[in-house]
Structure 1
């Protein structure tokens, strides 16, 4: 491209008179500004590291403690070093180098600093002890006992002022290891409604044998790990659940997030990309500077922020199988100044900085316009290259090692894998269509989940997709973090869009840059053998994508406003409705997975809430039977209370599934075969559910602007004959459901299940007869 010449800092020509050197002052200026930017970033990270390392202390606190200590000793005519220099003087001739006054000052600073560090350690220890108490979770919503109020005041006192994103990491307690006895009891309780008497007695025997014999031995090793590691689950969860997998991560692991449901800020593709990319890069800058506020439950209890560390500049790299071991790795670089854009089969590297600053929205739009206007054809094999990331992992690992480990292929692959994130300028149009709401949303969801199977780089931590008509969305890789972390970013991006705004003709606000170098086209040399591997992976990926049946329900009949009037937890209400819908759909109950977080503990990720309980099943049977309304309400209350209790146990580290998983890993390391653990971990989750929480409620005024509703996001089905259900509760009157299943299963139908969910929600609300009460 012509713009590439501007990037050359110097040129030289050999002549009979010697070497004629030509310097490009503009290029040298950009090199200088780039260096300044890098050093500023390093300094900010260094400063933040110190601030986080001493939190809840601060430089101001240090000055106060040391100054007060020195003033007190001077007033009392005491030795501020507490005899430190006198003792040192017996061994080292300090008086030769320092006067008596200097010794007092230095000694006072050293002793004062020790006092300051001691105060910090005491505050951290006390805060960690306070955060290990979870009695507040037993309180009824909206009312706190005096003990909980006093506890919350103490937490605030010892939490310090103005925390940064990672300030609480050293104060969070470690995830506790539940007892073998409690885990086994809760497991048996969870499977009781799913087994007949004979099956249950058999499983009871396996459980009791494990609890008495192998279990305690495995538990000893797990306890040892919990004392040594910061979290006894997370590293094994990442490695064995995500990185050891050999199947496609597209659909099976990656998940998606949607745009606004009813608002279409602009129909210009490049402009929407400009504002969105700028917003994402602003978020990354705040992340690098640790300026994002840590998530605090009840504005008091801090959540772990460790998962934010690898949000950007991260790629899941496939590994080659060695013996019986196969593993991917997460490649993360500390700094990346570019993104990679895919459009109509071509890859472009786009720098995000110029003149030592982040590009403005209109300047990013300018770069996107240049890519859209580029009429060059894809190189042989380039268009479908990303299908390697969509198929099985082993062929991709082998192809990567054989064809992308040297030369310009390696350089181009490095550009992709080390990019801040990946962007697709999609050549299709997606949007919620009021004339055809069901089909338009279903197609939109499938496009975000898998696209054409070759126009997303599924290994990247974040894939942003901007469609031809300006609609956008995200596709995220799962191993580095869980959905709430991506949701936090996406809420920021959506909330920034109306603030950045557009001109009357739909472009980003501002002016194009007259001297901005253009995007750099990545170059590939893909031989026929590699192209065969690409086509093979694409065949696998297309079969998987075609099998997925997605269905989106914007449920507007009622929301959490009416559910709260029923004095029921909205999440428990929805989970019970899902159980009723599933029973009506399939005529049976199934093992149900609901994701819960364990981020009240250091490096916590998720835990499972087994939502299909004895109490819930009793309520469902009452709803399909001929029980009275009063009896159904009584059973509903019991089911909701049980669900809330299970959720609390999961959040406080007393869930059963991560404990059983880690015990299984230990058994494999010891070479022990446990029939109980093997059977437990092979049980399929035929209903996998997750709530997408709206974490930054203050960013969206859904009362004054109800049209700014996010569609939420979703994921693929976990079991071949099961359902995946994600839901987001928006404001007081809106709930979005995202349902997925496989067309190849005769047992499932996403649209049928969606109809059953809607009816179940209405039927449960109908038990409370709110309209009749309002009339009275």
Structure 2
């Protein structure tokens, strides 16, 4: 019961002489400082909301407008054309003040009108996307004027969310355009008979039901800020009833070649401190908005910390989007603030406060507290050790167990503690990373550990969980519904860089600074797990373990060449890699497949992802003609024009999100579409994504080339397919993460990895003799980031 006493602020007893009140000054001081910190945050949020609300103007511009209007009044001119006099007639104030008050009111209205006009102009400017389709290095006069106007209307020193109100809404493509592009995308995958049948279904849909569904979708686009995102989050993520471990969550790795310190607690001390520094910047909106040429939507950043996914119990008869009535599904819960994290170690959960007396603990103090947890000899409570397996198994059993066993008492308090924590930390006794006599196998084990661990030593519902290994390596596991990978990778890159280059370690490998040994010990959470709940934990663990055992991973850094040599071939690195993947897959499977390449739609408000269908008629022709070097080289430049496809996807002219939303509308209307049903049932046997490198300025590839991260990866999307994540690092490295299922007899990650290496070399050899040949394909300007 030691942890209970730490929470007592005061005690009182009734005596014959009266009430004996014993106050704890330390606790009251902590309450006061915590309250002050909370009020400071509220004031900062209020100030930022005002600054963001008037952007691209500034609050001080109001004073300038007022002074200008008052100055013109004293020169006996009326810039309001009689409006100030009209306002003055209706003011219930004294005659002496009427003129000044009416002028101030008019100035305020004029200022608000100017802000509205500027934001409208900026929104129109940000809706211009023709610059993406222009030839690299050749900017039209229209685009030059546009760039100048964007700079004028963008204001100075924007906050993180300054552009949110000025971003355009995602447009709804025309039905005929989407259907046309869809038929083009499936042509290389179908024989003449199947294609003719699909064409008839598409034409029938376009001429009848499609127009009705499109009308509802346009109505939603007028009302909602984004016609895709809320349905995408709900139906693709939150309504899923299968385990989110492996199927949805993804991971990110530590540095590949270096470990800043071999001391587990020290690594945790520095990086946890860095996480909270990032959160402080996030709360103050001091993080610079991510942009290409124009800013990207930052809405996903809001739920990065203090967020968890809570399970919902399905009450309908089906488990897909057919049951949109009387159905409970998972929800994403976000809290404004949390001054602690939850740490898991050897079957026990600890609440670790990272603020003391209103200040953030230093890295050395966090290391001290983490070491206390590592040294704590107490055993886990009955049923506690594998409790996390509930978040790894099917969602319905977890929802039922949560409602039955965790809705009151000590279990509810402990569960609330986990769910409201800033994020989750797991301290592993294993050693991971690239090491030993077989570095390739060690990277594969490292990937599996981050993706699923032991299936009970992560809390997969948290927005992200950070894993610290015994040898000082770390990694991150992220829940997918609240945001896409580039948002979290920005945080991860910041943390890795700040940990190593800003905070650093002393000669012994410990965090720098002093420690206050009087810090209260981390609080061990208490649980009362009944036997029935333990049985459910075991069942969930069995489901999760079977899923984890079935996942095969292969991670390898490709260092023979990188984007430096690829660009000399006058092909974009992403197009080059995608063509290599098509060639490798055909060699591996002797067929072509529907290929998913993730792109983003964050040029629009609340945008998330869109699909680029990378297997095209041109890529198929290139693969089939590969043995004829001259013909293959000519076709490759056409095949690599999938840059056009993801530019279309980025600018709202994608295929799959539009068809997905049409399908959702059809289900709400209770109508069946054979065309849409068949489209959404097609398996993505090759699912690919590029992990973006966003904070390259925080790293020094010249002086510290060893400080590179291999990025991250995800599980296979189809039972008989591959998941491929790749990260282009500098000019000389491409990292690949390949996943598949061991239960499928026709897939093998190591075999496919070997095919990818061979395909990359073959493509470079094919293109090297033709580097002087004019390319029909230009790189995008700038290089576009992909989303997981």
Scaled by the length of structure 2, the TM-score of the pair is 0.95
SS at match of 2:336: coil
SS at match of 2:767: coil
Matched, 1:545 2:554: no
Q: 1:616 to 1:85 in 2, by over 3 A?
A: closer
Matched, 1:750 2:752: no
CA distance in 2, matches of 1:431, 1:88: 72
SS at match of 2:728: strand
Alignment of 1:723-742 (within 5 A): 723-742=722-741
CA distance in 2, matches of 1:149, 1:88: 44
Deviations 1:479-527 (A, max 9, x none): 0000000001001001101210011111100111132111111000000
CA positional deviation for 1:143: 3.7
Q: Which residue matches 2:353?
A: 351
> Quick check: 1:552–1:736 contact (8 Å CA) kept in 2?
yes
Q: Which residue matches 1:687?
A: 686
SS at match of 1:473: strand
Deviations 1:101-133 (A, max 9, x none): x21211111111111111111111111111111
Residue 181 of structure 1 is aligned with which of 167, 176, 190?
176
Deviations 1:247-297 (A, max 9, x none): 000000000000000011001111000011000011111111111111111
SS at match of 1:246: coil
Q: Which residue matches 1:311?
A: 304
> Quick check: 1:314–1:461 contact (8 Å CA) kept in 2?
yes
CA positional deviation for 1:588: 0.4
Deviations 1:15-49 (A, max 9, x none): 33333222222221111111100000111011111
Residue 94 of structure 2 is aligned with which of 83, 95, 98?
98
Q: Which residue matches 2:560?
A: 557
Matched, 1:321 2:317: no
CA positional deviation for 1:90: 5.3
> Quick check: 2:341–2:352 contact (8 Å CA) kept in 1?
yes
CA positional deviation for 1:427: 1.3
Q: 1:233 to 1:328 in 2, by over 3 A?
A: same
Q: Which residue matches 1:52?
A: 52
CA positional deviation for 1:390: 0.3
> Quick check: 1:597–1:606 contact (8 Å CA) kept in 2?
yes
SS at match of 1:296: coil
Deviations 1:656-713 (A, max 9, x none): 0000000000000111100000000000000000001111221112122110101100
CA positional deviation for 1:323: 2.9
CA distance in 1, matches of 2:9, 2:219: 57
CA distance in 2, matches of 1:82, 1:531: 78
CA distance in 2, matches of 1:80, 1:158: 24
Q: Which residue matches 2:780?
A: none
CA distance in 2, matches of 1:354, 1:771: 64
Q: Which residue matches 2:608?
A: 605
SS at match of 1:554: strand
CA positional deviation for 1:585: 0.5
CA distance in 2, matches of 1:731, 1:654: 31
SS at match of 1:412: helix
CA positional deviation for 1:7: 4.5
The answer for unaligned runs of 5 or more in structure 1 is: none
Q: 1:11 to 1:579 in 2, by over 3 A?
A: same
Q: 1:89 to 1:138 in 2, by over 3 A?
A: closer
Say which is worse superposed, 679-688 or 142-151, in terms of deviation.
142-151
CA positional deviation for 1:537: 0.4
CA positional deviation for 1:147: 2.2
Deviations 1:346-395 (A, max 9, x none): 00011111011111111111110110010011111100001000000000
SS at match of 2:713: strand
Q: Which residue matches 1:165?
A: 160
Residue 425 of structure 1 is aligned with which of 413, 424, 427?
427
CA positional deviation for 1:243: 0.4
CA distance in 2, matches of 1:429, 1:708: 19
SS at match of 1:744: coil
Residue 283 of structure 1 is aligned with which of 262, 278, 281?
278
Deviations 1:71-91 (A, max 9, x none): 12222x135776556545656
> Quick check: 1:80–1:111 contact (8 Å CA) kept in 2?
no
CA positional deviation for 1:768: 2.5
Matched, 1:510 2:527: no
Alignment of 1:57-76 (within 5 A): 57-75=57-75
How many pairs were matched up?
Answer: 762
Alignment of 1:16-31 (within 5 A): 16-31=16-31
CA distance in 1, matches of 2:89, 2:377: 82
Residue 595 of structure 2 is aligned with which of 582, 587, 592?
592
SS at match of 2:344: strand
> Quick check: 1:4–1:518 contact (8 Å CA) kept in 2?
no
Q: 1:237 to 1:721 in 2, by over 3 A?
A: same
Q: Which residue matches 2:775?
A: none
Q: 1:273 to 1:89 in 2, by over 3 A?
A: closer
Q: 1:771 to 1:606 in 2, by over 3 A?
A: closer
Q: Which residue matches 1:273?
A: 268
Say which is worse superposed, 116-125 or 11-20, in terms of deviation.
11-20
Q: 1:90 to 1:73 in 2, by over 3 A?
A: closer
CA distance in 2, matches of 1:632, 1:558: 21
CA distance in 2, matches of 1:423, 1:30: 25
Matched, 1:191 2:198: no
SS at match of 1:760: helix
CA distance in 2, matches of 1:194, 1:89: 73
CA distance in 2, matches of 1:225, 1:337: 39
> Quick check: 2:724–2:739 contact (8 Å CA) kept in 1?
yes
Deviations 1:171-222 (A, max 9, x none): 0111010100001110000000000111100101100000101100100000
CA distance in 2, matches of 1:323, 1:632: 53
Q: 1:18 to 1:534 in 2, by over 3 A?
A: same
CA distance in 2, matches of 1:676, 1:726: 30
CA distance in 2, matches of 1:3, 1:515: 15
CA distance in 1, matches of 2:285, 2:205: 46
CA distance in 2, matches of 1:159, 1:772: 40
Q: Which residue matches 2:785?
A: none
> Quick check: 1:80–1:104 contact (8 Å CA) kept in 2?
no
Matched, 1:212 2:214: no
Q: Which residue matches 2:713?
A: 714
> Quick check: 2:342–2:350 contact (8 Å CA) kept in 1?
yes
Residue 496 of structure 1 is aligned with which of 492, 498, 515?
498
- RMSD over aligned Cα atoms: 1.5
SS at match of 2:198: helix
Deviations 1:558-594 (A, max 9, x none): 1111111111111111011000000001000000000
CA positional deviation for 1:436: 1.3
Matched, 1:147 2:146: no
> Quick check: 1:81–1:104 contact (8 Å CA) kept in 2?
no
SS at match of 2:12: strand
Q: Which residue matches 1:237?
A: 232
CA distance in 1, matches of 2:350, 2:541: 22
SS at match of 2:519: coil
Q: Which residue matches 1:302?
A: 295
Q: Which residue matches 2:699?
A: 700
Residue 388 of structure 1 is aligned with which of 366, 387, 390?
390
Residue 403 of structure 1 is aligned with which of 394, 405, 426?
405
CA positional deviation for 1:6: 5.0
Scaled by the length of structure 1, the TM-score of the pair is 0.96
> Quick check: 1:258–1:474 contact (8 Å CA) kept in 2?
yes
> Quick check: 1:81–1:110 contact (8 Å CA) kept in 2?
no
Q: 1:103 to 1:547 in 2, by over 3 A?
A: same
Say which is worse superposed, 25-34 or 534-543, in terms of deviation.
25-34
CA distance in 2, matches of 1:621, 1:81: 72
SS at match of 1:72: helix
Matched, 1:460 2:453: no
Q: Which residue matches 2:623?
A: 620
SS at match of 1:21: strand
